[in-house]
Amino acid sequence: MIKYNLNCGECQHSFDSWFSSSSEFDRLKRKKLVLCSNCGSIKVNKSIMSPNVYSANETNKIGVKEIKSKDKIRKKMLEYQKFIKQNCKYVGEDFAYEVRSIHYNKKKTKAIYGKATSAEIDELKEEGIQTITIPWIKETEN
């Protein structure tokens, strides 16, 4: 596995992504499957990176700390997801429509969650409607 720092040529967003190999990144980019995590653009390029160099002993210590930290984060994210599922109404792909309905009609309703594109979120923000994007993980994912 290889981690690349990526930059979007469209919105200038910087983000990291993992690939099975350098050639896999190139293959996915040729197929236009490497997208900006912010705007969805395919104008994504690798940025200059410097390798991390550690002794074997340091690597083991860092690896164990990272695993424990990632496990804690994953556990906390799953707790938040459980809370959201129990206390909010799932509206699926209709999220932007439903949130506008609540906002403009001043409806009193249970909190909602669902899916929206980055363009829809931008439009909601322009209309003065605040939303929160939450990373959603499957319980079976590592």
Q: Are 64 and 71 in contact (CB under 8 A)?
A: no
- Please state, in angstroms and rounded to a whole number, the distance separating the CA atoms of residues 9 and 14: 10
Predicted local distance difference test score (pLDDT) of residue 43: 93
**Region 27-38: what's the mean pLDDT?**
90
Residue 133 vs residues 35, 79, 95, 121: alpha-carbon distances, Å: 18, 16, 12, 9
Split at pLDDT 50, 70, 90, the class of 123 is very high
pTM metric for this prediction: 0.50
21 vs 123 pLDDT, higher one: 123
Instruction: Report domain extents, the chain.
Output: 2-46, 76-142
Element (H, E) at 17: strand 14-19
Backbone angles phi, psi at 35, to 5 degrees: -120, 150
**Region 120-133: what's the mean pLDDT?**
91
**Which range, 52-56, 74-78, 89-93, 103-107, has the best average confidence (pLDDT)?**
89-93
Angle made by CA atoms 88, 90, 93, in degrees to the nearest 5: 145
- Please state, in angstroms and rounded to a whole number, the distance separating the CA atoms of residues 30 and 33: 8
Say if residue 58's pLDDT is above 60: no
Say if residue 85's pLDDT is above 80: yes
